Amino acid sequence: MSVMPEVPRLGVGAVILNEQGEILLVRRNREPEKDTWSIPGGKVDLYETMESCVVREIKEEVDLDVEVKGLLCTAELIEPEKGNHWVSALYEAAVTGGEPRNMEEGGAIGEVRWFSLDRLPGNLARFTVPAIAQLQKRSEKL
């Protein structure tokens, strides 16, 4: 028997690139998409703007101060059999302070790593795939 959410849930994610053009990914320890590599982010709280959620979630998860540069794309995860329906706004963000570190060890995040865009892990989270595709489309236009 499937568990149905009452309404879709709203999330955000952040594409963060370092000076070498590598993307920051976190390995998820929890569902949805446990054991996949994802851009960091999380759920939007009631009355919280999506951009302020990006800043908060990045600080909570990987201890970085970031500035939101703009909306990159959106993504959806619909799994009725698991009771999941997420809509996420995926933003580009620039680091303004800090060094990335796992703030949720033993929790939602198992590992934090930089990856070259041409050497990404095979088990990417579904929210990460459209963000990377959008980055690649943009670089092809340059």
Element (H, E) at 58: helix 50-62
Catalytic residue, candidates 48, 57, 111, 140: 111
Element (H, E) at 71: strand 65-79
Q: Are strands 84-97 and 9-16 parallel, antiparallel or unpaired?
A: parallel
Does residue 111 carry a catalytic annotation?
yes
Query: Helix or strand or coil: residue 54?
Result: helix
C-alpha 53, offset from chain centre: 12
Rounded to the nearest 5°, which phi and psi values hold at 88?
Answer: -125, 140
- Catalytic positions, written as ranges: 111
